[in-house]
Structure 1
Amino acid sequence: MGLWSLVKRIETVVLIAQLASAFFDTGLQMVVKERCANATDSINGTSTVDSRQRAMTNFYMTYNLLAKFTPIIPAIILAKIGDRGYRKIPIVIPLVGYLLSRAVLLSVVMLGWPLEALYGGVVLHGLCGGFCSYWAGVMALVSLRSTEDDRSVEMMRVELIYGLAGLVGSLASGHLFQLYTATFKQGSLLVGLSVFFYLVCLLHSTFLLHINRAQVTGPESDNENQGLISHNSRSLVNIALLFAGGILYDVAVGGGMEILVSFEMKEPLNWNATQVGYGNAAGFMVFLTSFFGVMVMSRWVSDVSLIIIGMLSFAVGIYFMAFVTETYMFYLARSLTLFALIPMPTIRSLLSKQVKGSSYGILLISLQLSFKVASLAYTPIYTRVYQATLDWIPGFVFTLSSIITVLATIPISVVGCRLSKRNEYERIQGD
């Protein structure tokens, strides 16, 4: 495959977009920390750690709820358009939203807009489909170009590129945030680069991204297409169980990671921009270890076993995070989650094997939207639990995530038993 062919693949879009996202994430964390500290100082004269943490977590709760609620209807519409053959649309339109929302953060940094302007930015992002539309569109393309046998590895390969880009971007982001001049305020360069990369990504996906016929129509011909669910109820039950396991795992991971960005900003960690960048980079290292885990273990274990191994890896690591009091302990906890990224792409791979190719988009967007709906409950719950336990055990929410992760392995184990019985039956029929 030539260099130009590689440039025109979906992996290039993922690479550029994730570099931009890594810059934005660090910039957002630092801007929110500084603005919340200034706001509580002005109100109280002097602010306590708890008051700053409550201000930050309240902001993130509203921000995350808006990010997860507003994309629901637009994402469904974009997924249906994608399944009708317009595979670029669920990717291009969300990138427009990314560009607009990142431009709002740049205005907050450079023009002194109030922090609440970011709520408007995240709404624009959501109305364009948000991450759930963008990532479901990416995974639909990957599913359509791959065979069932190599689909899990193909999806993990895209996740690897996503993680490596995030790793590089996060390592650089903390240093870039601190670069400023008399003309440009602190953070302007970092957020400006994020906006620029999203613009490049949008132009690339619009004019250069190559979609071949197989990725438009899927491997099955039109007269073979039988809709979202296969002709027997077995696939329906498997889909329901995979959704249940995926949702529980997303609750555990999403809730824990949302609180982690505030946990890093309080004592005893109290990180600066560089440390935030390094911490985010440690999170993206999990993409690398998860990819190699799939490459090695997939030779000997099933997809279901891979999912359970990944879930247990996260459960152990996030439990240890509850007792972190030093920076080195944070990295130890992160190292225990080395396979935590395996479950989601493998669940998507198993789901895609239950339906026809022309239904990949709507099935995968349904999974993403189920995560969004679940987050409408877990985001405020995790926030309130964290605020209530700040003076007791600040890391209690991480223990909660560990428990929910263990529960998520139950429906996945049931799927494993069902698939094993089906394979045995098919072998007997074949004989």
Structure 2
Amino acid sequence: MKKFYFVEPVVAVYSFACFLLYPLVQQYVYRRLWQEITNTSYPALDTSSRCDTNSSNHTSHHYEVQQAASLFSMYSELFSLIPSLIATLVLVAYSDQRGRKITIILPLVGSLVYCLAFLAVSFFELNLYLLIIASFVSSLFGGIGTMLGGCFSYVADLCEDGKQKTLRMAGVDMVIGLFSGVALISSGYFLRETGFNWPLVTAGTVHLVNLLYSVFFLEESRVIESSVAEDNRTCGEAIRRLTFGIYNLFALGSRRRNVLLVFLITIISTFSFANFGGLTVVTLYVLNEPLCWSEILIGYASALSTTVFVTSFVGVYFLSRCLPELVIVFIGMLSVFTGMVMMAFAKTTLMMFLVRIPMVLAIMPFPVLRSMMSKVVSKSEQGALFAWVAFVDSLSTNLASAAFNSVYSSTVAWFPGFAFLLAAGICLIPMALLGILRCLQLREEDNTENLLVEDTQTTENAPVA
């Protein structure tokens, strides 16, 4: 059977299924909580607004449901946090010994399990909190952090040139944006026309097809020597190699390399915390007054926001020809900072759509930072590196979701946009770290130039024999 070295189709299909499911979860939880708290059916209107601003009781219900929904999201994230982090760290690092496919196949199994559990809760109207249990079980197989860590390691295995690596990693991010956009723009219409069950059946089928492709058609990118595979047959030896692989990433590296890796990992994790944390409460924000969007508008806006993956890829492609990598990262972070500040004060539908304009380069920092880290470690350390990156990224995004949902729940009554201002403020941290890292690089370049001058002068002044 012919096999392929293309991991992009896996990422594309996985993104479509996940982003078809993601807005459905939030809206399903919101509607169920509305029914339980208000003892009334959820208002189904054909207009873009679901708010009745003339009713103070209705407004009170909106705030109460908003708080309950944000707390539910926080509990779901916290229960799945620890197993997902452990699975990500272990599986992606272990891929250095057993190959990358394990980091792709297991998350697909977990996503399929969660999708089927969600379908059962929706179809049989089971207890809503079973979704938290399903989230915990699926996290045991890893999550999106495991999947992306494995896919980026897969790409790193196949790329020799540094620029090629940057562009292909940016291409993976672009694929995520394109197919998640298709899923998000169709989710609103799908939900309105068929309800929740058929979109869930579609997502489950897509995950199953993707799993079959990964198992039977995707070629392994990392060829493991037979002697190493023989040594890893015992559980104790495999654990020992795994532990030393993660430990040696920093223990055997030079001081300069370790400092650079710590800086880059800190930058990408803090930026991910701010970016993901702000975006995680957008759906709740637009469901609230005065916007009160319908599922159609939510789908359009979510799809429009994913175009940043395409524009960011174009930005990386052209800017990498004329600007240093750190400058490209800074421009992307400035894009997010500006968009979050605007979103905090957006009170109309038009303004919420215009917010996407300053955020067109928001994804640029991620592929550039990953490529920078990948270039400073050896081929045999790519799995250990991306295990750490995926671990820290998953930790930051999960904590961001829990933290920002908690903040939004506490501040929605007096200033719903506070969470976006907080995200913008946190963006200043990685931007400041970029400045420090740039200064350190300039100092090293000056020292190198001084050493070269001294060596040249010494050579010129040396006595002739």
User: Which TM-score applies when normalising by structure 2?
Assistant: 0.83
Aligned residues of 1:179 and 1:189 also touching (Cα < 8 A) = no
Paired position in structure 2 for 1:171 = 185
Comparing 296-305 with 386-395, greater Cα deviation is found at 386-395
What is the rounded CA distance, in whole Å, between the counterparts of 1:159 and 1:405 in structure 2? 20
User: Deviations for 1:89-135, whole angstroms, at most 9, x for unmatched residues?
Assistant: 01101110010001111112212122211112111221001111111
Paired position in structure 1 for 2:28 = 31
Does residue 153 of structure 2 align to residue 140 of structure 1? Answer: yes
Q: CA deviation at 1:412?
A: 2.0
Comparing 164-173 with 421-430, greater Cα deviation is found at 421-430
Bigger Rg, structure 1 or 2: 2
What is the rounded CA distance, in whole Å, between the counterparts of 1:369 and 1:29 in structure 2? 25
- Indicate which of 189, 203, 211 corresponds to 1:194: 203
What is the rounded CA distance, in whole Å, between the counterparts of 1:61 and 1:347 in structure 2? 28
Paired position in structure 1 for 2:45 = none
What is the rounded CA distance, in whole Å, between the counterparts of 2:349 and 2:79 in structure 1? 31
- Indicate which of 192, 206, 214 corresponds to 2:215: 206
Task: Give me the CA root mean square deviation.
Answer: 2.4
Aligned residues of 2:93 and 2:387 also touching (Cα < 8 A) = no
Paired position in structure 2 for 1:107 = 120
Distance 1:145 1:285, change over 3 A: same
**What pairs up with 1:25-424 in 2 under 5 angstroms?**
25-42=22-39, 48-146=61-159, 147-180=161-194, 186-213=195-222, 227-229=248-250, 231-375=253-397, 377-422=399-444
What is the rounded CA distance, in whole Å, between the counterparts of 2:150 and 2:427 in structure 1? 26
User: Which TM-score applies when normalising by structure 1?
Assistant: 0.90
Identify unmatched segments of 5+ residues in structure 2. Answer: 41-56, 226-244, 457-465
Q: CA deviation at 1:213?
A: 4.9
Paired position in structure 2 for 1:183 = none
Comparing 51-60 with 418-427, greater Cα deviation is found at 418-427
What is the rounded CA distance, in whole Å, between the counterparts of 1:32 and 1:323 in structure 2? 26
- Indicate which of 7, 12, 26 corresponds to 1:15: 12
| Aligned-partner SS, 1:67 | helix
Identify unmatched segments of 5+ residues in structure 1. Answer: 181-185, 218-224
AA partner of residue 52 (structure 1): V
Aligned residues of 2:99 and 2:222 also touching (Cα < 8 A) = no
What is the rounded CA distance, in whole Å, between the counterparts of 1:113 and 1:240 in structure 2? 45
What is the rounded CA distance, in whole Å, between the counterparts of 1:318 and 1:299 in structure 2? 28
Distance 1:52 1:243, change over 3 A: same
Comparing 419-428 with 191-200, greater Cα deviation is found at 419-428
What is the rounded CA distance, in whole Å, between the counterparts of 2:116 and 2:398 in structure 1? 26
User: Deviations for 1:46-92, whole angstroms, at most 9, x for unmatched residues?
Assistant: 76111010111011111122233221222222123201142100110
Aligned residues of 1:245 and 1:410 also touching (Cα < 8 A) = no
Aligned residues of 1:65 and 1:375 also touching (Cα < 8 A) = no
What is the rounded CA distance, in whole Å, between the counterparts of 1:351 and 1:213 in structure 2? 19
Aligned residues of 1:98 and 1:130 also touching (Cα < 8 A) = yes
What is the rounded CA distance, in whole Å, between the counterparts of 2:394 and 2:294 in structure 1? 30
